[in-house]
Amino acid sequence: MYPGDAHIVGIYEHPVRKAEGISLAQLHADVARGALEDAGLSVSDVDGYFCGADAPGIGALTMAQYMGLRLRYTDSTETGGSSYIGHVHHAALAIAAGKCNVALITCADNQVASRKFIGLGGVDWRGAPEQPFEDGYLMGPPALYGMVAQRHMYEFGTTSEQLAWVKVAASHHAQHNPNALLRNVVTVDEVLASPYVAAPLRRLDCCVMSDGGGAIVLARPEIASSLARPKVRLRGAGEAVKHNAGGKVDLSYSAGRQSGTAAFAEAGITPADIRYVSLYDSFTITVIMQLEDLGFCAKGEGGRFVADGNLISGSGRLPFNTDGGGLCNNHPGNRGGITKVLEAVRQLRGEAHPAVQVADCSLALAHGTGGSLAGYHGSATAILERV
Amino acid sequence: MTAAVQLPSAPEIWPEAVPYWQGAADGVLMLMRCLACEEHYVHPRPFCPHCGSNRTEWREAQGSGTIYTFTITERAPVFKVPAMVELAEGPIMMTAIVDCEPAEVKIGQPVMVSFCPTDGGAPLPVFRPA
């Protein structure tokens, strides 16, 4: 019966970007309430709950008590920033299998306000066996992705100007989002004039750091049909993990190659059918790699694909991240997967900002990368369809 | 020229990795090799991540390799050139390039292992231009 048997019926993105005066548990509860209100459902309707390591305590158990959920299905899958796209996949499977009727997914973080910068919200790296062999070199995310960008430039001739075009497109979209952290439109020259953080990546090649979060509600089709909101269904999904393979490293591609292939096969469509993409944009290079790995262009052509505004809604051939993405809008807890699904749903509903709404948007793709493209990472791809 | 201006923190030493850090203290880069598929691998563990065999051995690496990729982090407190080096034995490892002009570092450049003291622990393998 899957994948046609689960619909996204409610979404919510917290407007806060620095969450002062609110606890982590309450942020989760706030985004849950927002998405349930959007759907026209209540807490008492939820019987499945999905969260990542950003949920406090024992995740689903802790939050079930706090929110008053009565659950018969839980899933605390943690794959970094891609977790929530995986949760959409898992929730659809659980609904199709009859294990739950209404599934709630939440993501939230308050690291910026609490000044506890630990990176990936909720993840404790102690005991991770690779840490002694990597930690000492002090490679934060910019250095790790800087190495990926350097290798991409070496193998494929990708340029700093091409990387900059990704940020330029995101900024064109963010100007229309009143909640976006960075609303100024920037030019390629302005990106290139920003200081290096981890060469070849510059400050404006990096995503924002923010608090907040979001939530998604999925339901069985009969329930979705009883609600007033536009219906969006999961048509295909895929997940994959890539790691250093004992040292047989190849940084030219990501796990998106596998998760994307699986998602397109399940959906029975090709990249040419997709009208809008939400792509993980921790860094500009992440977007270029994913466009290649998902098949929107040939391997190595990502730089040329994004150049000249081709990701800008209204003028480019493949509008991406029309909320401003992680590069300009929001990246709660360094976990951008949730916002990727939210903006894809807005596009399919026709509820994106009019200046960036894609005409007749019937098929959209949301893709996330969690962890590090230079080390291990998870990829999750969801192909969503307006019903 | 780049050198560590501040000592990196001491690595945590897992029981399975003691020979790696003992080797580093002795100025030798130690690698694990599978006796079944004969592949070297990182990071240390008592089974082969390629074929699953638990017949493995420690070997002294040649200590030579080439730069697979790198980045320049001018404002970093310790290493200015984090990198990944492809060892002569095959595996690619995370490390840092020292004793170099960052602007002159290139992918494919030959490098040799060196060891950087840490804050009260075993030294870290790093690489310098060969």
Its ipTM equals 0.96
Residue A25 lies in a domain: yes
On whether both A85 and A23 belong to a single domain, the answer is yes
Residue A75 host element (H or E):
strand A73-75
CATH number of the domain that A118 lies in? 3.40.47.10
| CB contact (8 A) between residue A247 and residue B90 | yes
On whether both A226 and A279 belong to a single domain, the answer is no
B76 touches chain A (CB under 8 A): yes
On whether both A110 and A169 belong to a single domain, the answer is no
Q: β-strands A102-109, A48-51: how paired?
A: parallel
| CB contact (8 A) between residue A150 and residue B69 | yes
Distance from CA of A202 to the nearest CA of B (A): 10
On whether both A100 and A154 belong to a single domain, the answer is no
Report in angstroms the alpha-carbon separations of A151 from A15, A201, A210, B83.
37, 12, 29, 11
pLDDT tens digits, A92-108: 999 999 999 999 999 99
| CB contact (8 A) between residue B72 and residue A198 | yes
Residue A356 lies in a domain: yes
B80-98: average pLDDT:
98
Nearest to B8 among A136, A151, A244 (CB): A136
**Chain A residues close to B71, C-beta within 8 Å:** 142-143, 146-147, 149-150, 198-201
Does B3 have pLDDT greater than 70? no
On whether both A118 and A151 belong to a single domain, the answer is no
B112 touches chain A (CB under 8 A): no
Residue A309 lies in a domain: yes
Q: Which of residues 4-43 of B touch A (CB under 8 A)?
A: 8-9, 11-14, 17, 39-43
Closest residue in A to B108 (Cα) is A154
| pLDDT of res. A1 | 45
pLDDT tens digits, A359-369: 999 999 999 99
The amino acid at residue A99 is: K
Residue A260 lies in a domain: yes
Residue A178 burial (CB count, 10 A) = 9
What is the distance between the alpha carbons of residues A289 and A260, in angstroms, rounded to a whole number? 12
The set of residues, in sequence order, having a beta carbon less than 8 Å from that of B29 and lying 6+ positions away, is B23, B60, B61, B63, B87, B113, B125
On whether both A198 and A341 belong to a single domain, the answer is yes
| CB contact (8 A) between residue B91 and residue A131 | no
B109 touches chain A (CB under 8 A): no
On whether both A165 and A258 belong to a single domain, the answer is yes
Distance from CA of A152 to the nearest CA of B (A): 9
| pLDDT of res. A4 | 62
- Parts of chain A with a pLDDT under 70: 1-4, 117-118
| CB contact (8 A) between residue B78 and residue A129 | no
Q: Where residue B1 falls among pLDDT bands split at 50, 70, 90? A: very low
Closest residue in A to B97 (Cα) is A137
| pLDDT of res. A2 | 55
On whether both A122 and A199 belong to a single domain, the answer is no
Distance from CA of B41 to the nearest CA of A (A): 5
Residue A1 lies in a domain: no
Closest residue in A to B125 (Cα) is A133
On whether both A103 and A189 belong to a single domain, the answer is no
On whether both A81 and A145 belong to a single domain, the answer is no
On whether both A31 and A86 belong to a single domain, the answer is yes
Residue A295 lies in a domain: yes
Closest residue in B to A146 (Cα) is B71
Distance from CA of A245 to the nearest CA of B (A): 7
Backbone angles phi, psi at A185, to 5 degrees: -70, 130
Residue A2 lies in a domain: no
- Tell me which residue range forms the domain holding A338: 134-209+234-386
Please tell me the total count of domains within chain A.
2
On whether both A239 and A313 belong to a single domain, the answer is yes
| pLDDT of res. A126 | 87
Residue A11 lies in a domain: yes
B49-64: average pLDDT:
98
Contact A3, A233 (CB under 8 A): yes
Contact A303, A159 (CB under 8 A): yes
Q: Given A231, A264, A291, which residue is the final one in a domain?
A: A231
